[in-house]
Chain A
Amino acid sequence: MALRKVKGNLERMFDKNLTDLVRGIRNNKDNEAKYIAQCIEEIKQELRQDNISVKANAVAKLNYLQMMGYDISWAGFNIIEVMSSSKFTYKRIGYLASSQCFHTDTELLMLTTNMIRKDLNSQNQYDAGLALSALSCFISPDLARDLANDIMTLLTSTKPYLRKKAVLMMFKVFLRFPEALRPAFPRLKEKLEDPDSGVQSAAVNVVCELARKNPKNYLSLAPMFFKLMTTSTNNWMLIKIIKLFGALTPLEPRLGKKLIEPLTNLIHSTSAMSLLYECINTVIAVLISISSGMPNHSASIQLCVQKLRILIEDSDQNLKYLGLLAMSKILKTHPKSVQAHKDLIMQCLDDKDESIRLRALDLLYGMVSKKNLMEIVKKLMVHMDKAEGTTYRDELLSKIIQICSQNNYQFITNFEYVSVLVELTDMEGTQHGALVATQMLDVAIRVQAIRSFAVSQMAILLENAHLFFRPSSKMADVLYAAAYICGEFATELKDPQDTLDAMLRGKLVQLPGHIQAIYVQNILKVFSHILSQEEERGDSEAILLLCDSVGNKLQQFVSSADLEVQERASSAVHLVRYIHKQVSKNEGGMSEEISALFSGELNPVAPKAQKKVQVPEGLDLDAWINDPPPSSSSDEEDYKEDNAIFSNVVGNKFAPSAVPEPSEEELEKRRAARRVEQASNPHYLKSSHSSTKNRSSEKMNGQDDISNIPVAEIDLPIPLKIPGLASSNHYMSPSKAYEAVELDKPSKKDKKKKKKRRKEKVSSDDDDDIQALHVVNTDIGEMPEGAQLSDPDDNDNRPEDDPHRALDINLDEPLRDEEKLPVLAHRFVDESLLPIQDEPEEQANAHVLDTKHGKTSEKHKKKQGKDKKSKHKKDSKKKLLAEEERQRGVGSEDVKTVPTNTDDLWLSLDSPAQTNEQQLEPKDKLDPSTGEEKKSKKSKKKIKDSEKSSKHKDSAKSKEGYEEAAGISTPSKEILSFADKNRSAPSATAPPLSAYTKLAADKTLHLVHEVRTVGLENNQIVVSVVFNNISAQLVKELDFSVSDSPTVKLMKSDVDQYGVKLPFQLKASASGEALFAFQVSDVTFAQKLRCTLTYMIEGTDDISSQEKLDFWLHLPCSSFMVGRLTQRESVTDLLASGSLTARSSMTLESIDFDFSQVLQRVCFHAHFTLVERVDSTASLYSHSIQQHNVCLLLKFNMSTKTLVVDGKSDCSPLLSSILEEVRGLLTPST
C-alpha cells in the first residue's frame, strides 16, 4: 500500500506538469500540432491511472489545451472525478475545467448533482464558492431545479462571500428554472438590504438583470431602489440602480419626476465619470418619458447637455465617445438644445478616431439647417474621398442621403442635390447604389421644377453608362434611375436622339435584368417622343430610319435570359415594326396613339398605402355592389337580364316581388353614393371618370352639383388623388382633415402649389403661377385614413428561446400553495443500482442513483409511504404559513382588493426627502386592552370574526408595502377607504389565523393590531395598527403617544415630540393603518406599554370635539421572535453543540385541538418554524431579534389529549415566558 503510494508519487514527479507542457509547446513552434497530439496521448494515459493527483495534473494541462482551441469534452468524466476530490487544490482544477468545457447540454452533468450539492453544503466556504462559480457557467435546467433549494439556503449563509455568490447564482437558476423565481424572490429582495455591501450589490445586480427584460414586474421595487439610491455610496451599485431606473421610467412617468431631483444632485456632486454618465443617461430617459409638465425641465436638459459637452471636450476619447452617444439620445426629443453645440459636433467629424466620427455622424442630421446643409454635405463628400474603409464610406454616403432627404427635403433650398447625387455615383465600391437611385427617382418625381436639370444630368449619366458596366459595381443601379427619368420626362430632353443612341449603345446585356427591363421600356418612351417631334416636322424618312435602328438594337434584348426583359423587348420590337409599317403606308397621327401608351401623371404613393386602406364607414364589403333591382341604365339592364336568367333557374325563391322597386330618387342617391365610394376608393380605375363625371353632372340637373355629393360628410381626411372626380371646390376649401395629413409640409406655398397641380389636371384651370425652383411634393404619399407609416408592433419580439420570456412573471401576486422549490427528499435506494463511484458516504450513493433515475425529487418522495398523504397535507399547511410570513417581506398585495397600490402612494408623494424620513421613523401606536381579555378574545374572534379578520389581513397586506418599501409610510392626508374592497375568501380548510387582534375600542374607533419583526433590523419590532372608524363622523388629527418602558421605546422623528401624528383622516366607516417601530433592548420578558390616542371628531356643524383613548399595548415575548429558519441542519447542530443550556418543560392536558392545529397555532402566533415532524412529535425552532435560540419539542398523546412541551434555549427567562405563552395559546380557558 505504502509502496504504491510512493510509486504514485514518483510517477507523478516525472510526469509533465502544466509548466512543462507550456514550455514544450513553445519549444515546438514548428510542429505544434504534432507535439500537442503527443501530449494528449500522454494525458489520456495519465487519466487512466488511479492516482487523483496524476489525474488533476492531466486535467490542468487539458485546461490549457482548451484555451488553445482543443476540444476536451471527451475527458468530461475525468473532470468530474477531479471535481469530486476532497482536496481543494484538485477540486479547483476540476471545477475550472468544468466551467470551461461543460455547458447546459452536457449530458454528464446529471452525474454531478449530488457532488455539487455536497460542495455547496461544505464546511469550507471556498469549496462552495468554487462550486457556485463553476455552476454559474454550465447550470442546466435539471441542475437548477434540483439545486435551487440548496442555493436558496446559501442565501442566508453567515458568510457574506457565499451569500454574494449565491445571490448571483440565483439569477442563473431563474434563467434555467423560471418556476423558482416566485418562491425565491422574497428572499432575494431581503438581500437588497443585506448588511454586507457586496451582497447588496450582487442582489441589485440580479434584480437589474431581471428587470431589464421584464421591467413592469419590478415597478413595485422602485421605492426600495430609490432608498438605496439616496443612501448608498457604492458607485457600482448606484450605476446599476440608475440603469434600472432608466428601464423603469418609460413605464411610470411619475417615477421619473421623483427621480429628477436626486439624479440632478448626483450629477452635481459625483466625481466618478461612470456614475455621472449613467445619471445623465437616466435623466435623459426620464425626460423622454415625461412628455411635458415640469417647469424645470429645460434646466435639467441644459444641465445634461452642458455636462455632456464637458465629456465631449475631454481629451479622453472614451468620454468623448460616450458624450456623443448620450447626445444622440437627447437629439431625438430636444434637438434645439443639441444644436447649440453644433461647433463641437462638427469638430468631432474631423476626429482621428473612427468610432467618434461615426457617433458624430449620427448627430449630424439634427444639426443641419437650410443655410449650412450644402456646406456640411460638401464636407462629408471630402471625407468620403479620403475615407479608407468601405464601411465608413458607406456610412457617410447613407448619412448624406439621410440628412438631405430628411423630412421630405426640408432643408434643401435648391436642387444642387441632384448634382450631389450624381457626384456620389463616382464613389467606388459602395453598397448603396440602389439608395442613390431611389433618391434620384424621388427627387425627379417630386420636384417638378428641377426636372429638366435632373433629366439633363441623367442624360449625361446615360452617356457614360459604360463606367458602370463593371460587373461588381453596385452603382449600376443608378442607370435604372437615369433610364427611367430620361424616359418618363423625355419631353425635357435637350437632345432626345443622342440620349436614345446612348441608351442603345454598349453591352447593355451585361447589366442586371431589372435595369435592362427599364431600359427597354424607356427606350420606347424616348422613341415615342422623337416620333412625335419628327411627325410634326413631317419627316417620315427620318421616322423610318429611326424605327429601323431602334428595332435592330432592341433585338439584342429579345434573347435576354431575363424573362421580363425578353417579354418587354419582344413587344417593343413588334411595336416598332408596326409603326414602321404604318408610317411606310403613310398613315399619319401615329405619334399621338403611341404617346398615349405612356401618358399619365405620377403621384407618390406611400409604401404601405395598399395595406392600410380601410373600409370606409358604411361600406359593407359583403353587400351587393349593385342592387338586384333593375334600372334604366344600360349596365343595370344587363344585370336585369342576368337576374332573369337566374330566377328562371332557381325558381320562385327569388321572386321579383321580394325586391322592392326603388324609386328614381333612391336610385339617384345610390348612384351618388357609389360615385363617392368610387372617388374614395383608390382601387377604382381612373379611366372611367370622365364619363362618370359627365353623366352624373348631367343627371344631377347640370351645374356644379358635384359639390352636392356629400364628399365632405364622408370626412375622409385624405385627399385621394384621383383627379377625375374631385372638383376644384373641394380642394379650395381645405378641410381640416386635409391639413391633418399634410403634416410634413414645409411651407404653405407647397400646399398651394399642390392644389394647383391637381387642379390643372382636374379642371384645367389656370396653369400659370408655378412656384419657384424647389417645390417639392412632400406628401408621404397616399395613405388611407388613420393609417400610419410605421406599423406599431408591440408584440414580444424576443426569440422563442429567450429565457427571459419565461421570467415574465408577476411577482406581486401572493405565492400559491403549490409554489415551492423542490426539496431534497429521501428515496428508495435500489441496491442493484449501486454506483461504482468511490464516494464513501451513503448519501453520495443515493445521489448518483438519483441522477441515474434522472428526475426530480418529487417523484421519489416516498420515504414514508404510509404517512405520505397526511404528511403532504401538513406540508402544504406549513408552507402556507411560511409563505405568508415571507410574503410579508415582498410587500405583496392583493391587487384586486386595493385600488391604489403602494407604488401609487409612493409616487404621489412629492418630496423624496420627506419619504425617507417617514420611513425611517415609523410612527406611534395604540392602545391596549388588558392581556387576559385580549387572549381570550383572540380565539373567539378568530372563529366568529373570521371574515372580518381576513379583511383586516388584506388591508394589512396591502399596507405592508410601505414598511418594506423602504419606509415610505402612508401618504399624508390621504383619506383611506377600504370600505368597498373586495374580500378574499378565507381559506376553506384551516381556520383562518389572523395575527390581528383587538387592541382597543371606544364608540368612535376600533383598533386592531399586529406585531411584526423587521427583516434584518436587530432590536426592532413594528406594530401595525389598523384604525377603524365605526362612527358616522370624520375623524382627524389622530395623535398617538406611548409612555416608553426602560427597555422598549417608540421610535419617533424629531418633529413628533410627544406623540406621533398619523398621516391620515378617517371618513365614516373607513380604516387606515399606521406602523410604529419600537426599539427593544431586552426581549426576555413580556412588555406592557401604556398608550394614548387623541383625535378630533368633526361634528355636523363643523364643530370638532377632541377625544382621548387610553389603552395598553401588550408585547409578549413571542413578538420578539423571528420564526425563520435558515438551515435545517443548523438546528441539529445547535442542539448538538450544547450551547442551549436553559431547559424547561411543561405538560398541557385536555387539549381541544388536533396536533396539526396545535402546531399551526404555535407556529403562527408564537412565531416558530416547524423543523421536523414525525407522527405526533414535532420539533420547532425560533430565534429572537437578539439572536437567542429557542427550540421546542412537542409530543402529543392523542388518546389522553395531553401535550408535553420540552424547551431548550440559551436564555432561560425567554424560554419560560415563551412556554407560558404557548400554554396560553393552547388552553384558552385558563
Chain B
Amino acid sequence: MEEILASDEPHVLAVDDNLVDRKLVETLLKKSSCKVTTAEDGLRALEYLGLAAHQDSSTNNNGSKVNMIITDYCMPGMTGYELLKKIKESLIMKDVPVVIVSSENIPTRINQCMEEGAQIFMLKPLKHSDVESLRCQIMQCRG
C-alpha cells in the first residue's frame, strides 16, 4: 500500500541558488504532495541527474525518477537557461518538463526559454496555486 502511494507522488527537482527561495519552493511542493530534491546550482542539479560531464550513464538512475525540474533563471555559474539546454540534450531527460522561474518579467528571456523547450515560465515568488497547477501538468505528462 505504502509503495503505491509513494510512487504516486511526483518527484520534483528544484534548483535555486537563493536559500530562502529553496526553502519556499520545497515547502510549496511538499504541500502539493510532491517528493522534493533541491539543488543550489546547475552543476549540482546535473550531478544529481547523472548528466554532469564527468559522469557516465551508469553513475545513477536518479534522472529516470524525476518527473519535473523547476529552476531559477538567474544563477551564478550556470543559468537556468543553460541547465535547460543540457537537460534537453540528454536522451534520458529530454522529455521531462522543465519549468523556468524568474523574479524578472523579460519577454526576450521568456521566448529564449520557451524556444529551447521549457514547459512554462513563471514569475517568482511562486504561489500555492502556481504549484498546484504544475502538479496537474506533471500528472498529465505521466499519462
Q: Does B associate with A?
A: no
Which residues of A come within 8 Å of B, CB atoms?
none
